[in-house]
Amino acid sequence: MALDAILFDLDGTLIDRRSSLRVFARHFLETFSSHLFSVSLEAVADAVVTEDADGYRAREEVLAGLLA
């Protein structure tokens, strides 16, 4: 099957990246909350969105920032 097009979403118009990260944060918190200190969903979501820097940081840098 040949590709007809490749779409790049560089400005967040096709997918709401921040919303997706907040969904991830909710899932992360539900999965690992028993291993974490009491922390709000909003705090986790804000940290993930901030460290992600709209996708311009390497995954390793994001993880290091979240663990710091």
The answer to whether 68 and 47 have CB atoms below 8 angstroms apart is no
- Number of structural domains found in the chain: 1
Q: Is residue 2 part of a domain?
A: no
**pLDDT beyond 90 at 58:** yes
Confidence of residue 38 (pLDDT cuts 50, 70, 90): confident
How far apart, in whole angstroms, are the C-alpha atoms of residue 4 and residue 56? 27
1 in a domain, yes or no? Answer: no
Give, in order, the Cα–Cα distances in Å from 55 to each of 40, 42, 62. Answer: 23, 19, 9
Two tokens, residue 37: 């200190």
Residue ranges making up the domain that contains 47: 17-67
User: How remote is the C-alpha of 68 from its chain's centroid?
Assistant: 16
In this structure, is residue 25 part of a structural domain? yes
Asked if residue 58 belongs to a domain, the reply is yes
Give the whole-angstrom CA distance, residue 60 versus residue 29.
Answer: 20
Quote the mean pLDDT of the chain. Answer: 90
Model confidence pLDDT, tens digit, residues 1-14: 899 999 888 888 88
